[in-house]
Chains A and B, each alone.
Chain A
Amino acid sequence: QKEVEQDPGPLSVPEGAIVSLNCTYSNSAFQYFMWYRQYSRKGPELLMYTYSSGNKEDGRFTAQVDKSSKYISLFIRDSQPSDSATYLCAMSARQPSKIIFGSGTRLSIRP
């Protein structure tokens, strides 16, 4: 069993829709939770960073962490075609330790 599980998609939604991306994990030592966005032929770019449980909002993006269920989510409101990319969830047990990534979800926003 992988430490981090993520549905690979692909996920296709119309422009303006709310997108929900999710990951589950098995290692209860994880305390730092991140979402990265990766465009084709580019390196991952940090979108959201959360410590422990709770919600964090940044513009159209909201990250949620539920440590009791070992479940994290990323919500994208008013999705745009420019949001089309692969989204990677990532976690770590301590600073500045190795990051464990999910396999990524390919997201396509239809104009």
Chain B
Amino acid sequence: DAGVTQSPTHLIKTRGQQVTLRCSPKSGHDTVSWYQQALGQGPQFIFQYYEEEERQRGNFPDRFSGHQFPNYSSELNVNALLLGDSALYLCASSSGTLETQYFGPGTRLLVL
């Protein structure tokens, strides 16, 4: 079992650009959550997807959007990038309980 995988591992963009990050959940998991982790901070919840629907959302602007596919994989899209969007973006998958939630290694995004 490969666990939760994310791509790409690193990404450099410039202000105003758009970015798409991808996540494949652990086998058997149907729920995907996305978090943003700034340097020296804990992860902050962006949103959660289940059955291809956004089930819950944190305090992030509409520039952050997502999608979940029938195979449970997910994408995070960020439009009109700002310098402050530079962070580690973590994907976590679960089978519906907090105890089963596993995190991927993250995608490190740098906005110049």
Contact = CB atoms under 8 A, between A and B. Distances in A.
Interface of A: 4, 6, 8, 32, 34, 36, 41-46, 49, 88, 90, 92, 95-104
Given A43-B4, A43-B90, A102 B98 contact: no
Interface residues of B, number: 26
A8 B103 contact: no
A16 to B, nearest CB: 28
A88 B103 CA distance: 13
B43 A44 contact: yes
B54 to A, nearest CB: 12
Contacts of A41: 105
Contacts of B106: 42-43
A102 B31 contact: no
A45 B102 CA distance: 7
Given A42-B106, A43-B92, A44-B43, 11 more contacts: A34-B98, A36-B103, A43-B105, A44-B90, A44-B103, A88-B42, A95-B97, A96-B98, A97-B56, A98-B33, A103-B41
B101 A46 contact: yes
A90 B21 CA distance: 24
B44 A101 contact: yes
Nearest to B102: A46
Given A43-B104, A44-B103, A49-B99, A98 B48 contact: yes
Contacts of B16: none
A104 to B, nearest CB: 5
